[in-house]
Amino acid sequence: MKRPAWDWRLTDLADVPQHGRTVFSCFSCGGGSTMGYKLAGYTVLGNVEIDPQMMRIYQRNHSPRYPFLMPIQDFKSIPDAELPLELFNLDILDGSPPCSVFSMAGQREAKWGSEHHFREGQAVQRLDDLFFDFLDVAAKLQPRVIVAENVTGMIRGRARGYVSLILSRLKQIGYQPQLFHLNSATMGVPQKRERLFFIAARSDQPFSPLRLNFDEPPLLYGDIRSGSGTPIKRDKVTYKRWLRRRPSDADIGDITKRIEGRQSSFNTRLLANNKVANTLLSSSVYLRHDEPCRISNEDIVHIQTFPVDYDFMDADVQYVCGMSVPPLMMYRIAEQIHLQWFGGK
């Protein structure tokens, strides 16, 4: 019996027909985007990654030809003559600039314009500058197409000014940008993850506007659920709150608001079999609605559509998955770019 698309293995990539289009990935983390491109038949030449642990995992699973372990600022400063010629003839430059400062959680505006210590790469960085550093790389390499992913918080409130600046910069360096607000639940991913995708074609190409319309049926948590999760300790307040859950409760915060008159622990989500899983984040807690335990690592891998034979080495499974683009989400986008713009069949 044929396996569902979300239940796949890295070894399956050997059977994917190759069309020769090339990709280079920035802020690659564990390679969620990389795997999406590979599933769509692209050749991913290499990556830039600041986090040594993530680079080790990326190299173990993807064997990049040109890995660059360094900040994006250092990569963009490498003299052209010292970079592989293949990087100046790319079909796609891919990037997911770290997006913590644009998330709707917390006091995000207070983090803009200053340096902070973020988990991404265990580095002190100005994350609101990284998107423009990425565009400097695009201006340097001049790929045929640029694909950049980020959180939907960028189009809410004051952050919309950053979007305008990004679109203006893309036009300035010779590209025709489009902005897509996509939900992975419509793309064959068992997770309602909403993300923005900036997709821009170099202006010297006679491309029509890209059309991205996805309407695949939703996959429920019960469809992909497997494995055993870590039980909640019965002497903990989380367990006592979980006991008082109702079918309509989406998180522990719903319970505390009802029984304690205040909302807390909103980042402890309850996953029900008859609903699509919430966005998988690297630091939130996910509990099963009908069982007093966390979701399993198998659940996390399936929700994020990572391959079941992925080697996480010494890293936390949820952190690697939560920081990555779901491979099937990027596969759907990359497939359409190939079909609509690169003359694919």
Catalytic residue set? 99
Dump the DSSP string for 117-138: EETGGGEEE-HHHHHHHHHHHH
Q: Is the dihedral of CA 55, 8, 217, 213 positive or negative?
A: positive
* 140 C-beta neighbours (distance < 10 Å), count: 18
Contact 40, 345 (CB under 8 A): no
Contact 94, 33 (CB under 8 A): yes
The pair phi, psi for residue 245, each rounded to 5°, is -70, 160
Orientation angle between helical segments 52-62 and 32-39, nearest 10 degrees:
20
Tell me the C-alpha distance between 106 and 273, whole Å: 29
Contact 288, 278 (CB under 8 A): no
134, two tokens = 């990425």
Q: What is the largest CA-CA distance in the chain?
A: 65
Work out whether strand 285-288 and strand 268-271 pair parallel, antiparallel, or are unpaired: parallel
Contact 67, 83 (CB under 8 A): no
Work out whether strand 116-118 and strand 123-125 pair parallel, antiparallel, or are unpaired: antiparallel
Contact 304, 41 (CB under 8 A): no
Task: Tell me which residue of 137, 127, 143 sits closest to 88, measured CA to CA.
Answer: 143
Tally the C-alpha atoms within 13 A of residue 208's C-alpha that lie toward its C-beta: 6
The pair phi, psi for residue 342, each rounded to 5°, is -100, 10
